[in-house]
A and B are shown apart, each in its own frame.
Chain A
Amino acid sequence: MKQKWTLQNVILLALIGVIFSVIYWIMDPVYQIVNSGLAVIGLQAFTNEITLGVWMMAGPLASYILKKIGAGFIGEMLGAAGEMFLGGSYGVGTLLSGFIQGIGSELGFALTGYKNWFAGLWLSTLTGTVVSFGWDLFKSGYIHYKLGLLVALFIVRYLSIFFFSGVLVHLIAKLLDRSKLLSHE
């Protein structure tokens, strides 16, 4: 693992941010559609939990591909900043969410001492869930919810992050690995 950031690393990291800023921006209306669908059956509290995994893909993917300290945090921040500049539905709030989610994802890789990126990825799905959930306890008033609902919300959120920011990210990175496109570095 080379720790120095080269120009090419940074451009690739930023391009990952650009790709996901567009995906995040597309997710804004998707969120609203899912939300109105779930509201009909009274489960709108779960909208955020179900979709959140998509919004957290940039960080783990960046870390897992670039294998550098800070890649996850910066990748997620760039995705969020891009979403804001594109005119996303949460304006400057996106930056704050990106900040929290970025820290959450980065933490998983940090816990392995940036040594085991595979374990780091799965840990990051857990730390990402815990940190973002902790933030929502205060920000979104989850703290007022009953314990049973909280547990259910946490589990759904974890499953979403596990699938999108864990399984899907792993599959993408595996394709990249097998292609050997980055192997000469």
Chain B
Amino acid sequence: MTDIKELSYRQASEELEAVLRQLESSQLELEESLERYERGVALLRELQGRLAQAQQKVSVLLGEVEPESDDSVDASLS
């Protein structure tokens, strides 16, 4: 099973959805259901953590971004 840290957010959230579906079906062995539950909880914690702590990374490939100013461009006649 893939290490949760290596999953993308989307992959992790898709897997969480799948775990929920498996738990909702009655097809699992008892041991398996416990294992699925633990995996689901781990996925949940990871996703919540990522969302809560994310810091956006901006890589500037070209140009230089000017800080935001109030004199925004307004082409309409005043």
Verify that A and B bind, or say they do not: no
Interface residues of chain B, those whose CB is within 8 Å of chain A, are: none
Which A residues form the contact surface with B (CB < 8 A)?
none
